[in-house]
């Protein structure tokens, strides 16, 4: 495991109803940063749920990570928008960890054991 990878933010949220093209839809994309440790379990993080379990959640999709470096692109595209960690529905906002360097089944450890 590389030592230059960092966890910038842990983000959780519960599903809520939002309007999409005039129709109500349940979504779990709204995440907010939390302070302190959060337990990652087999299906999700404590305090977090997914709305559509056919494509989110479960043992192979329990958490979603997004590189903080991508926020620079989106900030340039939408300079008028506030883009806090978790804005893209990620549970883990990371630094130094990119999609091109990960594979399904990779394991990482953050922090110290309880």
DSSP letter string, 32-64 = EE-SS---B-SS-BTT---S-TTTS-STTSS--
pLDDT at 113: 59
pLDDT at 111: 67
SS3 8: strand
Does residue 105 form part of some domain? no
**pLDDT tens, per residue, the chain with 114 residues:** 456 788 999 999 999 999 999 999 999 999 999 998 899 888 889 999 998 888 887 787 888 899 999 999 999 999 999 999 999 999 999 999 888 888 877 877 776 655
Domain, as residue range, for 64: 6-97
What is the count of structural domains for the chain?
1
Does residue 38 form part of some domain? yes
Q: With beta carbons less than 8 A apart as the criterion, state whether 46 and 12 touch.
A: yes
pLDDT at 90: 95
Does residue 102 form part of some domain? no
pLDDT at 23: 96
pLDDT at 14: 95
Rounded to an integer, what distance in angstroms lies between the CA atom of residue 81 and that of residue 102? 29
């Amino acid at each position: 495991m590389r030592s230059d990878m960092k966890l910038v933010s842990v983000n959780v949220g519960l599903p809520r109803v939002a309007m999409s093209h005039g129709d109500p839809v349940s979504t779990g994309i709204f995440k907010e940063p939390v302070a302190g440790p959060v337990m990652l379990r087999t299906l999700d993080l404590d305090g977090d749920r997914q709305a559509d379990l056919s494509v989110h959640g479960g043992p192979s999709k329990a958490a979603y990570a997004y590189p903080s470096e991508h926020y620079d692109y989106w900030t340039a595209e939408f300079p008028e928008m506030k883009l806090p960690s978790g804005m893209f529905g990620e549970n883990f906002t990371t630094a130094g960890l990119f999609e091109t360097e990960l594979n399904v089944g990779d394991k990482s450890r953050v922090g110290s054991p309880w």
